[in-house]
């Protein structure tokens, strides 16, 4: 699919979500592009309630479990995070705002919301050996930390009900490393 067709299909899907009043929050690469430049993506990531799946126009579900789903919408790939996960619900309710994108107003995760989702995913990515994807997520987090003054303690406190103690300890180390890298960047910006 060429870039113009991808953007056109994305615009149609977002307009349909808005027109049909389907509660959703844009997360992932397209949400990240609302705040930082240079991130490429070829899919749409949404937080959505499972019961709203039948309302997605032209959507074909390919895979689903309790918290995640994947499908397509002629031929746009859509990755879903379901509100059955309380962290996803928290991001949708407390860490999202309306943004203008492709000529429509849509609910989009805030930088803090995106950071929370990416931190939540990191332990699983490392356990699955998806190191390149984990590196990409860490870079995304680093870019967002430059924009959002959220503290590491606040992030870890929000993740505490959703992750094990060992995962939280590992994420604390990741955040310390990212803060160190952020300090290096700031030294060169002077």
Same domain, 78 and 122: no
Same domain, 94 and 127: no
Give the model's pLDDT for residue 31.
85
The whole-angstrom distance between residue 135's C-alpha and the CA centroid of its chain comes to 15
Residue 22 and residue 15 in contact, taking contact as beta carbons nearer than 8 Å: no
Give the model's pLDDT for residue 189.
63
pLDDT band, residue 89 (cuts 50/70/90): very high
Same domain, 83 and 24: yes
148/84: higher pLDDT: 84
pLDDT at 56 over 60: yes
Kindly report the CATH number assigned to the domain that includes residue 101: 3.30.460.40
Lowest mean pLDDT among 63-72, 79-88, 111-120, 180-189: 180-189
Same domain, 10 and 103: yes
Same domain, 24 and 72: yes
Give the model's pLDDT for residue 39.
66
- Last residue of a domain, which of 61, 91, 109? 109
Give the model's pLDDT for residue 75.
73
Mean local confidence (pLDDT), 147-165: 95
What confidence tens digit (pLDDT) does each residue in 167-189 have?
Answer: 999 999 999 999 999 887 666 66
C-alpha to C-alpha distance for 6 and 173, rounded to whole angstroms: 38
Give the model's pLDDT for residue 187.
61
Lowest mean pLDDT among 65-74, 83-92, 103-112: 103-112
- Specify the residue for token string 């990212």: 178
C-alpha to C-alpha distance for 54 and 93, rounded to whole angstroms: 22
What confidence tens digit (pLDDT) does each residue in 121-146 have?
Answer: 999 999 999 999 999 999 999 999 99
- Structural domain span for residue 90: 3-109
Same domain, 74 and 164: no
Mean local confidence (pLDDT), 1-18: 77
Any idea what DSSP says for residue 37? S
- Specify the residue for token string 């949404």: 46
Could you tell me the pTM of the whole model?
0.91
Q: Which residues contact 69 (CB under 8 A, 6 or more apart)?
A: 50, 53, 61, 63, 79, 80, 82
The whole-angstrom distance between residue 157's C-alpha and the CA centroid of its chain comes to 19
pLDDT at 108 over 90: yes
Same domain, 134 and 94: no
Same domain, 51 and 66: yes
Question: If you average pLDDT over every residue of the chain, what do you get?
Answer: 89
Same domain, 96 and 16: yes
C-alpha to C-alpha distance for 44 and 154, rounded to whole angstroms: 28
How many domains, the chain?
2
Same domain, 72 and 154: no
């Amino acid at each position: 699919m060429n870039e113009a067709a991808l953007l056109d299909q994305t615009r149609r899907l977002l307009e349909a979500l808005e027109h049909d009043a389907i509660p959703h929050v844009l997360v992932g690469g397209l949400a990240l592009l609302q705040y930082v430049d240079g991130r490429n993506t070829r899919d749409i990531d949404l937080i959505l309630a499972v019961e709203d799946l039948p309302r997605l126009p032209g959507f074909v579900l390919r895979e689903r479990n309790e918290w995640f789903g994947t499908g397509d919408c002629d031929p746009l790939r859509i990755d879903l995070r379901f509100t059955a996960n309380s962290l996803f619900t928290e991001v949708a309710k407390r860490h999202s705002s309306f943004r203008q994108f492709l000529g429509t107003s849509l609910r989009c995760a805030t930088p803090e919301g995106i950071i929370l989702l990416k931190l939540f995913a990191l332990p699983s990515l490392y356990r699955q050996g998806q190191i390149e994807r984990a590196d990409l997520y860490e870079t995304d987090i680093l870019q967002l930390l430059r924009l959002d003054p959220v503290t590491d303690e606040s992030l870890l406190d929000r993740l505490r009900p959703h992750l094990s103690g060992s995962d939280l300890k590992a994420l604390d180390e990741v955040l310390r490393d990212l803060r160190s890298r952020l300090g290096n960047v700031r030294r060169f910006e002077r």
